[in-house]
């Protein structure tokens, strides 16, 4: 039973909606735990799952940060543990073997921006706004924001946004490479689903291995080239690879089975 997330299944796509509209969909502990439950327990068991869309209820916010009241009393050790828990969840999302697309319908601030960045792809409504305003509270992003923002937009611009706490709009996020596309307000979920449907036509094992290999580029101590080579070898041993080659030679669409 989920209380803060609404999960709708639409032709093999799980649409996760943060339902805390009055709190601008702030990510409190209960919501984070429900995300963890889905990505750790429920999602991996769904054999026909094509992918996941994450969005926020209402028109104002995707997720306007974490719930400040939950960490205003923390000491150093408790704060570090609090941040590690969030990092663990967002790493779980980033490593999920099916595509996860953020459909950003409004404010994606603080933890909300970090959640969007943990997704594999980001579709932004023209009303979307992004930012990491933690320095206004005497803090810094704790759920991976200082690391992922640099990946997407580079060190200089990431430092500017992190240090000034300024927000950027959807078009600027697109220009910087933070989002994949911008759509009219209200069309972000449909576009996210369309992206997942497009990916679902590809070989499932290959898709999962692409995610694994790309993640290895950013993993400390990992040899991304070695991960890529091993993944390539794994794919060579699949029925999908043989089907893909046959379909290419026969000039027809491939019928992948995920084997």
Indicate which residues carry an active-site annotation.
114, 134
C-alpha to C-alpha distance for 97 and 38, rounded to whole angstroms: 13
Phi, psi of 233 (to 5 degrees): -60, -40
C-alpha to C-alpha distance for 113 and 54, rounded to whole angstroms: 12
Residue 210 sits at the vertex; the CA angle it makes with 207 and 213, to the nearest 5 degrees, is: 150
Block residue for tokens 């594999």: 120
Q: What is the CA radius of gyration of the chain?
A: 19
Length of the chain: 259
In a 3-state reduction of DSSP, which class is residue 180?
Answer: coil
C-alpha to C-alpha distance for 26 and 70, rounded to whole angstroms: 11
Q: What is the dihedral of CA 227, 228, 229, 230, to 10 degrees?
A: 50
Q: What residues contact 40, with CB distance under 8 A and at least 6 apart?
A: 92
């Amino acid at each position: 039973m989920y209380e803060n997330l609404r999960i709708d299944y639409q032709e093999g796509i799980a649409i996760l909606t943060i339902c805390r509209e009055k709190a601008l969909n702030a990510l409190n502990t209960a919501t984070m735990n429900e995300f963890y439950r889905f990505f750790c327990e429920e999602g991996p068991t769904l054999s026909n799952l094509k992918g996941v869309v994450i969005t926020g209820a209402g028109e104002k916010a995707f997720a306007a940060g974490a719930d400040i009241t939950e960490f205003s009393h923390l000491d150093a050790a408790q704060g570090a543990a609090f941040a590690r828990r969030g990092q663990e969840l967002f790493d779980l999302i980033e490593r999920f073997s099916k595509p996860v697309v953020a459909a950003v319908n409004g404010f994606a601030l603080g933890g909300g921006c970090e959640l969007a960045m943990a997704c594999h792809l980001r579709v932004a409504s023209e009303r979307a706004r992004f930012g990491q305003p933690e320095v206004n509270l005497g803090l810094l992003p704790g759920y991976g924001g200082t690391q992922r923002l640099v990946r997407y937009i580079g060190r200089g611009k990431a430092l500017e946004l992190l240090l000034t706490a300024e927000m950027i709009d959807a078009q600027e996020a697109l220009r910087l490479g933070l989002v994949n596309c911008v759509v009219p307000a209200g069309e972000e979920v449909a576009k996210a689903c369309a992206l997942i449907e497009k990916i679902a036509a590809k070989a499932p094992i290959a898709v999962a291995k692409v995610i694994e290999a790309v993640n290895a580029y950013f993993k400390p101590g990992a040899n991304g080239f070695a991960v890529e080579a091993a993944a390539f070898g794994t794919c060579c041993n699949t029925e999908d690879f043989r089907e893909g080659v046959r379909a290419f030679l026969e000039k027809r669409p491939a019928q992948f089975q995920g084997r």
